[in-house]
Amino acid sequence: MIPQEGKVLVDFWAQWCGPCKMMMPVLEKYSAEEDAVTVVKINVDEQADIASEYGIRSIPTFILFEDGEVVKKQTGAMSIQQLKEFTNN
């Protein structure tokens, strides 16, 4: 389940998705550098009900939550700088 407190970046991904695989090291580095944001990965093949609940149609899709509420949503691979801008605005 998605944490209800603070900022949470949820990565909707799948094992077979090339851009999702490219994002793995970027997300690891981002997570190590950004203490204020919790990163959660949701595999759309294993958690199809959650993906459907949030209207995920393409992956990777990133949703930023603040205190349990959806703040932003973006589809597609991003650089670490783009991730930081996405979560800090």
**pTM for this structure?**
0.92
Q: What integer pLDDT is reported at residue 4 of this predicted model?
A: 78
pLDDT of 9 > 60? The answer is: yes
Q: What dihedral do alpha carbons 83, 16, 41, 55 form, nearest 10°?
A: 80
For domain 7-88, give the fold: Glutaredoxin (3.40.30)
CA angle 19, 88, 28 (to 5 degrees): 40
Give yes or no for a contact between 75 and 60, defined as CB atoms under 8 angstroms apart.
Answer: yes
Length of the chain: 89
Average pLDDT over residues 53-73: 96
Q: What integer pLDDT is reported at residue 63 of this predicted model?
A: 97
* 9 phi-psi bin (left φ>0, alpha ψ -120 to 50, beta other): beta
Q: Which residues are catalytic?
A: 17, 20
